[in-house]
């Protein structure tokens, strides 16, 4: 069958197996090129667990660890397999492509599909860590845990209560322009303020509780290296989005993530490890296209950053995170040398937040309307990235050819 994008309300309902695989291989090629400049120095991770490994920042984190540092990896994600008649989710194909390329290169890797919030998945991951370590001939001690989940729901592992996360402002409604990915139409949308329950539920899903449970489970099972490092991802962004993001429900969850990082850090530092939140750049991933104002902001930001030669995608961001922050020459053996801001967060959103970039982006956004969007902003780039995360619009893929969605 042929597969064409089915998009409703900025959500793409299907994906293209070959396109997802090719986009994943393109990230692998980038990593090989950028990270293959010499022997891997001491202190670099050898056994890496990525929670949320299939798409976006998590996939990039796994690719860079495996193909950049030669690490054995265990990945956990929640994706839907394709069948003969129906395409699966993009992450399903991304994982298949990762596994295929890792096997070709002789890299030990296991990918688990299921609910990362559950205790059963934590037990499965611990088993997988032991298996992967045995295959790689290294001790079963994870030395890097990347926590990159973005989920709308979480079922409490103890009592089964279902919590839903929402993207809403707190205290007052938020009005901003939403951009339709397909047509470029701009519509003023207003989002009502969250209830107290919505706030606490969002913190329960997207805060740090589950991250801490992962570290605890790994520690108790004896599969966490004493010098283990762990990082979870966050976003801050420009003031004009704070109403819906930083000062909204997700922002509250990210505050909880910050507080969790401090607690985990205190625990891990005692044995030579460390925990951080890394604040990353705004990018088009499956999660970010549905937040009002963010898609218009990203389109404007990309225009400015591309013009200045500063643009990065997920993989460029993560390669920089590893090489210039987490495992820089100074920090590879000593986590206290990892560059952070005053709050202890790693900032790879530094280029996005540069004063000149922010000023020019804000100026551009003030000038944009539906008539000049394509010319003034990088609407084409946004649209391309959105399609590409679902395996469409990927260079070198023949979209007229028949494809079997049950595999690659
Ligand atoms: N996209 C951005 O612009 C951006 C910017 C900065 C920080 N971040 C942060 O990075 C993190 C990852 O975001 P992303 O945009 O890469 O998201 P994404 O949607 O591309 O990836 C989310 C991952 O979580 C997995 N997942 C979701 N629910 C799961 C569950 N119950 N069990 C197992 N796996 C599950 C998915 O399978 C996928 O692998 C988030 O914390 C996000 O806030 C994103």
For β-strands 142-147 and 224-234, DSSP reports them as parallel
- Per-residue pLDDT at 305: 98
- pLDDT of 55 reads 96
Asked whether the whole model's pTM tops 0.85, one would answer: yes
State the pLDDT confidence band at 36, using cuts at 50, 70 and 90: confident
> CA–CA separation, 147 vs 56, rounded Å?
12
pLDDT of residue 336: 97
Mutate to test the pocket of ligand 1, among 148, 164, 248 (most ligand atoms within 8 A of CB): 148
Ligand 1 atom index nearest CA of 288: 1
Q: Are strands 162-164 and 47-51 parallel, antiparallel or unpaired?
A: unpaired
Give me the sign of the Cα torsion angle 292, 297, 302, 303: positive
Contact 357, 278 (CB under 8 A): no
Instruction: Give the pLDDT of residue 291.
Output: 84
Residue with tokens 């805060």: 207
Q: Dump pLDDT digits (tens) for 110-168.
A: 999 999 999 999 999 999 999 999 999 999 999 999 999 999 999 999 999 999 999 99
pLDDT at 99 (0 to 100): 98
Please state the φ and ψ torsions of residue 400, each to the nearest 5 degrees.
-85, -15
245 belongs to the catalytic site: yes
* Neighbouring residues of 249: CB distance < 8 A, sequence distance ≥ 6: 165, 166, 167, 168, 169, 170, 194, 198, 199, 202, 203
Q: Which of the four pLDDT bands, split at 50, 70 and 90, describes residue 9?
A: confident
| 347-371 mean pLDDT | 96
Catalytic one of 57, 78, 233, 245: 245
Instruction: Give the whole-angstrom CA distance, residue 320 versus residue 204.
Output: 30
Question: CA–CA separation, 155 vs 209, rounded Å?
Answer: 12
The answer to whether 325 and 339 are in contact (CB under 8 A) is yes
Inter-CA distances, 114 with 79, 80, 149, Å: 7, 9, 12
What is the chain's length?
408
The residues facing 229 across adjacent strands are 144, 274
77, β-bridge pairs? 113
The alpha carbon of 58 and the centre of ligand 1 are apart by a number of angstroms equal to 7
pLDDT of residue 319: 98
What is the tens place of the pLDDT at every residue in 370-384? 899 999 999 999 999
**Contact between 319 and 64 (Cβ < 8 Å):** yes
Q: What is the pLDDT of residue 329?
A: 92
Topology (CATH level 3) of domain 7-169+195-292+312-351: Rossmann fold (3.40.50)
Strand partners, 48: 73, 144
* Cβ atoms 149, 51 nearer than 8 A: yes
The whole-angstrom separation of Cα 210 and Cα 201 is 13
Nearest CA to ligand 1 atom 16: 56
Task: List the chain domain ranges.
Answer: 7-169+195-292+312-351
> How does pLDDT run across 45-89, given as a tens digit for each residue?
999 999 999 999 999 999 999 999 999 999 999 999 999 999 999
Better-scored residue on pLDDT, 274 or 36: 274
Q: Which residues contact 183 (CB under 8 A, 6 or more apart)?
A: none
Would you say the CB of residue 117 lies under 6 angstroms from ligand 1? Answer: yes
Q: Is 52 in the pocket of ligand 1 (CB under 6 A)?
A: yes
């Amino acid at each position: 069958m042929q597969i064409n994008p089915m998009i409703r309300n900025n959500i793409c309902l299907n994906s293209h197996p070959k396109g997802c695989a090719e986009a994943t291989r393109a990230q692998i090629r980038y990593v090989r090129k950028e990270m293959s400049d010499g022997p891997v120095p001491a202190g670099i991770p050898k056994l890496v667990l990525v929670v949320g490994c299939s798409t976006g920042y998590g996939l990039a984190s796994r690719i860079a660890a495996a193909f950049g540092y030669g690490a054995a990896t265990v990945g956990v994600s929640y994706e839907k397999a394709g069948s003969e008649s129906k395409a699966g989710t993009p992450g399903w194909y991304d994982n298949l492509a990762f596994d295929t390329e890792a096997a070709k290169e002789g890299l030990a890797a296991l990918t688990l599909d299921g609910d990362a919030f559950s205790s059963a998945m934590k037990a499965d991951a611990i088993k997988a860590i032991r298996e992967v370590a045995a295959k790689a001939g290294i001790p079963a001690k994870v030395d890097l845990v990347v926590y990159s989940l973005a989920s709308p729901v979480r079922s409490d592992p103890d009592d089964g209560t279902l919590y839903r996360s929402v993207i809403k402002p707190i205290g007052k409604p938020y009005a901003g322009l939403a951009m339709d990915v397909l047509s470029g139409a701009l519509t003023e949308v207003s989002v009502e303020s969250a209830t107290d329950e919505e706030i606490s539920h969002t913190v329960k899903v997207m805060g740090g509780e589950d991250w801490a449970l992962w570290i605890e489970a790994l520690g108790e099972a004896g599969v966490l290296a004493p010098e283990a490092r762990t990082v979870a991802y966050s976003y801050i962004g420009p003031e004009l989005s704070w109403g819906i993001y930083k000062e909204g429900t997700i922002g509250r969850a990210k505050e909880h993530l910050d507080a969790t990082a401090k607690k985990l850090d205190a625990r891990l530092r005692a044995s030579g490890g460390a925990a951080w939140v890394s604040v990353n750049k705004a990018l088009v991933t499956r999660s970010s296209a549905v937040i009002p104002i963010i898609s218009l902001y990203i389109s404007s930001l990309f225009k400015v950053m591309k013009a200045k030669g500063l643009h990065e995608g997920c993989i460029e961001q993560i390669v920089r995170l590893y090489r210039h922050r987490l495992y820089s020459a100074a920090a590879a053996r000593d986590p206290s040398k990892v560059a952070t801001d005053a709050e202890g967060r790693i900032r790879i959103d530094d280029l996005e937040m540069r004063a000149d970039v922010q000023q020019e982006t804000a100026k551009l956004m003030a000038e944009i309307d539906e008539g000049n969007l394509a010319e003034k902003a990088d609407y084409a780039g946004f649209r391309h990235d959105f399609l590409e995360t679902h395996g469409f619009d990927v260079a070198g893929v023949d979209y007229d050819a028949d494809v079997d969605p049950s595999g690659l």
